[in-house]
Amino acid sequence: QVQLAESGGGAVQAGGSLRLSCAASGRTFSSYTMGWFRQGPGKEREFVAAISWSDSYTYYADSVKGRFTISRDNARNRVYLQMNSLKPEDTAVYYCAAVFRSTTMSRRGYDYWGQGTQVTVSS
C-alpha cells in the first residue's frame, strides 16, 4: 500500500515556473514507477510524465517535453515535477501516481493516486 501527497501547486503567470513534489509512504518506494498526470477543466485526466522504477528512465507527453522535468529521490521517498515556461493551457489539477514494478503512461495502469494539487497559469 502506498499513500501519496502532492504539494507545490499555486498560481503563476505565463512563462513562470513551479516545482511540484509528491511524498510517498512505504518502504519500497524505489520499486514503483512514479507518474504525474493532470486534469484541466472539462477535460479527461492526461499523462504528463513518468520515471521508471528500474532505471529512472523518463517519459514525457509531447505537450510538456523540453519544459517539464521529472525526477525522484528514493532516499526521501519523493518524486518531483519541475515545470518551466508555463503556459495557460498547463492550468489543471496535477496528480501523482504510482505503480509497482511496471512502467506505463496509461492512467489505467496506475494503482495509487494522490489527491492532487492545483496549478493555475494566467496570461
pLDDT per position as a tens digit, 16-29: 999 999 999 988 99
% of the chain with per-residue pLDDT over 90: 95
Once rounded to an integer, what is the mean pLDDT over residues 43-63? 96
Task: Sort strands 58-60 and 68-73 into parallel, antiparallel or unpaired.
Answer: unpaired
Long-range CB pairs of 51-58, under 8 A, 24+ apart, other chains included: 51/79, 52/103, 53/100, 53/101, 53/102, 53/103, 54/101, 54/103, 57/103
C-alpha grid cell for residue 45? Answer: 485526466
The β-bridge partners of 42 are none
Is the predicted pLDDT of residue 1 greater than 90, yes or no? no
How much is the mean pLDDT over the chain?
A: 96
Tell me the pLDDT band of 85, cut-offs 50, 70 and 90: very high
Give per-residue pLDDT as tens, 65-76.
999 999 999 999
What's the rounded Cα separation, in Å, for the pair 112 and 123? 33
Distance in angstroms (rounded) separating the CA atoms of residues 23 and 106? 21
Q: What average pLDDT score do residues 3-26 get? A: 97
Q: Average pLDDT, stretch 105-122?
A: 97
Grid cell at residue 88: 495557460
Pair 49, 57: CB distance under 8 Å: no
